[in-house]
Structure 1
């Protein structure tokens, strides 16, 4: 099973699906608790255990792109542009659409609309059947390696930092909010399985 990043972009659906050529060797997760208490309220016993919502979670991973196999098979696209298309697909998740930018500029100049910041498509991190998460790409670091005759990279390493978006960010009734809720429920089930397994092992140890 391959991991993927999927942008739910109805205007360009094919360009927003990035299937990992190789799954990352490691995936780092950081969870920061969201509490209701401020530093001066921490001594208040009524606030000590309260949560403002699900934790803020960030995920870091590194994926590798390599056109060597395609080059060995005589793939014309790989020979012409290497892994540039795959890199561009990831990068475009951080760019507003050019058509929207131009249209907004024209309409604003004509006094038709008040321009607001363009909205990016919903992005999903898919990493196994129990981890389909709405995310926002916050940082992208690309190291290009080995270049072809046209100076297009043949290999590349991409470091991704994403922030998981939860139902407080998106709203519980949205597609993204529902996906995060399903993810949280799956984690609760896993935690229960772990607890039950621990109790069974403990009882078996006592009986033995």
Structure 2
């Protein structure tokens, strides 16, 4: 909420980690403040090589989309009410930062299983599977992603050197049916995301050739 009594309640953005099979929610990482800017980059997956000249308009799959944004974390408000925020008093922003960092690490249990496989002489080490991450930025944008890169700048610290203010920069790679397949839970969520885009595109105002200085198109 802002400081004005009649201001609208702002929806938070965040990441939801779910079990790919059951869909059970494992963790919700809510961003304290919505980022002021969000950058998206889309690269077409088109026919390449010798076939590109023969099929210049054909696509081989959904565009590769990358989302980048910066968010702020601040424990100052929580520290003003220490009786209600014991965790912030004890560890500052460490828990919130660790929740984001954990998306890039295998768990200790997973690493120990890999270590046991190596010690037993296993020919193939089982790759680690992480929970499915969903990026939620309003009800119109819920999309499966992989956290590709995380940058953290810790700015202020309490007397015990716990960070109490930080800026985090996240780079998310959208996971499409080309990555997950159509039968994966995340594949279905991506299709719903793409369907939402198509519905929004249909609502865009139609332009007129006259606006472009053209009376018509001729071959």
> Into which bin does the TM-score normalised by the smaller protein fall?
0.7 to 0.9
Query: Counterpart in 2 of 1:172?
Result: 182
User: Which SS does the other structure have where 2:97 is aligned?
Assistant: helix
Number of aligned residue pairs: give it. 194
Match of 2:59 among 45, 48, 51: 51
Change (3 A) 1:13 1:151: farther
Query: Counterpart in 2 of 1:206?
Result: none
| TM-score, scaled to structure 2 | 0.82
Distance 2:37 2:87 in 1: 30
Q: Unpaired segments of 5 or more residues in structure 2?
A: 1-10, 212-219
Change (3 A) 1:112 1:49: closer
Query: Counterpart in 1 of 2:158?
Result: 148
User: Which SS does the other structure have where 1:128 is aligned?
Assistant: coil
| TM-score, scaled to structure 1 | 0.86
Match of 1:35 among 46, 51, 58: 46
Query: Counterpart in 1 of 2:216?
Result: none
RMSD: 2.0
Q: Does 1:102 align with 2:112?
A: yes
Runs of at least 4 residues of structure 1 off by over 6 A? none
Q: Unpaired segments of 5 or more residues in structure 1?
A: 203-208
Post-superposition Cα deviations, 1:128-155, rounded to whole Å, max 9, x if no partner, equal 1121111111110000011011111000
Offset at 1:112? 5.8
Post-superposition Cα deviations, 1:164-203, rounded to whole Å, max 9, x if no partner, equal 000111011211101110011111111111145x57xx9x
Match of 2:101 among 76, 91, 97: 91
Query: Counterpart in 1 of 2:217?
Result: none
